[in-house]
Amino acid sequence: MQTVTANGAAIPALGFGTFRIPGPDTLRMVSQVLKLGYRHIDTAQIYGNEAEVGEAIAGADVSRGDVFLTTKVWVDHYPHDTFIASVDESLQKLRTDYVDLLLLHWPNNAVPLAEQIGALNEVKQAGKARHIGISNYTTALQAEAIRLSNAPLVTNQIEVHPYLDQSKVIGAARAAGLSLTAYYGMADGKVFSDPVLTEIARETGKSVAQLVLRWLIQKDGVIALTKTVSEARAAENLAIFDFALSPETVARIDALARPDGRLVSPDGLAPAWD
């Protein structure tokens, strides 16, 4: 699998995400995708399935050092002491003494950003996280986080799919040496009934999911997360590294973006988006 390099990190370009996957399905699917060849697993404290992710990795016929593991600190845990304790709890659940990437899950100004970034750096300095980053940050917040951090940030994980133009955030991330990790690539299932994507799938002999994932990882510095509870679909989604989309096809998919395309913007968490 190809990797994306960013500020010293080498991150597998396709990751398996576990958002909204119940514990038993998480255990089953993470075990299966590791057998298939996935080497990047993404979870979070708020997902409630870190323990199952940890159990699957511990039981896999893959060494821990070959798995790129990401988790995210939830906003309620941003005060310094709570932050440190929450990371220790995550590591215990994940059955590991470090994660490869630790992210701040959402912006939250109830705790000063300097305190959040300071705790993130402290965890990295202690060896509990090999790399650190942010999630759901705007270009302005990203710039401020970079300014406050002693250690380099390696990614900003945000919503990216054909209906949402995130070129501004992607460009700012790349200019600063960060990667961009794309979640919600299937637009909560909307892509599967899209006539343009369906037509391109017919023309290319690929599935709609394969097209979208390929469209994402062809962007400079972009990592795609895929999520499914089907072993067959997980295998299909991994088969995106032996073909490329033409510039014309990329342009057709890019043209699907619209001003109201954003799907994830929870009250009380969402910043003033770019």
- 133 forms beta bridges with 103
- The closest of 24, 61, 69 to 44, measured between CA atoms, is 69
Cα angle 57, 60, 66 (rounded to 5 degrees) comes to: 70
Residues 6+ apart with CB under 8 A from 143: 172, 176
- Active-site annotation holder among 38, 47, 137, 183: 47
SS3 assignment, position 238 = helix
H or E element, residue 92: helix 80-94
Residue 47 catalytic? yes
Residues 6+ apart with CB under 8 A from 42: 15, 16, 17, 18, 70, 71, 181, 225
Token pair 């370009």: residue: 13
* DSSP H stretches of helix in 107-265: 113-125, 139-148, 167-175, 195-204, 208-217, 231-238, 247-254
From the number of C-beta atoms within 10 Å of its C-beta (0-12, 13-18, 19+), residue 34 rates as buried
Residue 168 near residue 131, CB atoms below 8 Å: no
Q: Please check if 105 is assigned to a binding site.
A: yes
Backbone angles phi, psi at 259, to 5 degrees: -60, -30
Q: How far is CA 137 from CA 52, 118, 238, 245, 269, in A?
A: 28, 17, 28, 29, 11
H or E element, residue 3: strand 3-6
Question: Which residues fall in the annotated binding site for substrate?
Answer: 105
Residue ranges of the binding site: 105
Please identify every residue annotated as catalytic: 47
